[in-house]
Amino acid sequence: MRVAAAVWRREDEGPEKILARIERSLALCAREGVAVVVFPALIGCCFGDGAAFLERVRRLSAAYPELVLCPGSWWERAGGVWHATALLRGGEVLLRQRQLYLARWEREEGLARGEDLALVELGAEPGGWRTAIILSTDVFYPQVSRYAALAGADLVLSPVAIRAAEERADGGRNAEGAGPEGEACRSSEDFPRQLSGLWASVQANMFFAVESGFKGTFRGRAFASRSAIHAPLAMTPREDGFLALEGEAEACPEESGRSGRKESGCPGREGGGALSPPWRAEGEGSAPRSSPPVRGEFLSSREGEPELLVAELDPERRRAARRPFDPLRQLNPEAYRGLYLGPAGDPGDPRPGERQGR
């Protein structure tokens, strides 16, 4: 299955500009055979009314009946305020998800916590892509990812907004901490912190994950997060857990101006723009390396601006990667089902997440 994470390198001003950009990306996904696309967290908050944003995106989604869309996140107001997201296909809401844990800044905003993690089956065949959304701050809580894995998740979608280093907010650079060009966060502080979230959970639970990161400012706070497509170490080209990573691939617009793609390692960038595996600095304890294997691609619109980080998810390769040691197989969830997943042996007990009823 072909999946995409939206890459927004600058802030967009106003709801209509954001909706236009989403619509342009959806058209690009449909043209290039993408089945699932994720947008960054917080992009719906500029609407004020999260329900209005969801309705506008639902109308856009209706034009693409085969495309599954996670349209970022927004404030949901219903007797309280929650950080919320959803999954749509063909104008239908397949799943709604509220954030379960709150960072300090989110508590200062007066947000409430969600109570459950929902899952949905994508694909017609039984045992297809069982999918969950782990929203923003929740990626740093390993119990959320383990819950999803125990519930059978094959794929996790994550709109994220990860705070930049505090000193960067007023240090004379832009909010991304990457200078005036607004490139992906590259500092030694921001990216390792992001790795401790979803990347670590993918390696511990061995599902696929698509992460779309918000970069910019929101309510005076700076955020710096990359977009990435994650997989178990053993099935990724350089055994570092990335099928695709923002900052490695870049767009190569075709002369026609229609769309473009460029894969990491292609001509025009020294060494393919490779990033060393997160646990090892370049050249540390190893011989010099040649250009890296291909790891994903960017798709760009006719304007030539990179918009979508794309990779192919291969379930057979994932199964092969899990075969030597499947961490979930070593557990005994039946022993604590009554505490964690509901009463054991109850034939009416729904699967985790399906109790959410929202």
Q: Which domains are seen in the chain, by residue range? A: 2-278+289-320 (3.60.110.10)
Which pLDDT tens digit goes with each residue over 212-249?
999 888 888 888 888 999 999 999 888 889 999 987 54
Which pLDDT tens digit goes with each residue over 67-100?
999 999 999 998 899 999 999 999 999 999 999 9
CA distances from 90 to 63, 97, 149, 196, 339 (A): 6, 18, 27, 34, 37
DSSP string for 1-62: -EEEEE---SPPPSHHHHHHHHHHHHHHHHHTT--EEE--TTGGGGGS-HHHHHHHHHHHHT
B/e letters for 1-37, b = 16+ CB within 10 Å, e = fewer, are bebbbbbbbebbeebeebbebbbebbbbbeeeebbbb
**Amino acid 9: pLDDT:** 64
- Say which residue, 315 or 256, is predicted with more confidence: 315
- Classify the phi-psi angles of 177: left when phi > 0, otherwise alpha if psi is within -120 to 50, otherwise beta: left
| pLDDT (mean) for 195-204 | 89
CB 120 within 8 A of CB 154: no
- Say which residue, 100 or 184, is predicted with more confidence: 100
**Amino acid 337: pLDDT:** 61
Which pLDDT tens digit goes with each residue over 243-293?
999 875 444 333 333 345 544 333 223 333 333 333 333 333 333 333 333
Is pLDDT of 35 > 80?
yes
pLDDT-derived band at 115, boundaries 50, 70, 90: very high
C-alpha–C-alpha distance, residues 276 and 31, integer Å: 33
Residues in a beta bridge with 24: none
- Classify the phi-psi angles of 86: left when phi > 0, otherwise alpha if psi is within -120 to 50, otherwise beta: beta
| pLDDT (mean) for 52-60 | 96
CB 120 within 8 A of CB 93: no
C-alpha–C-alpha distance, residues 128 and 150, integer Å: 16
Question: Parallel, antiparallel, or unpaired for β 208-213 and 155-160?
Answer: parallel
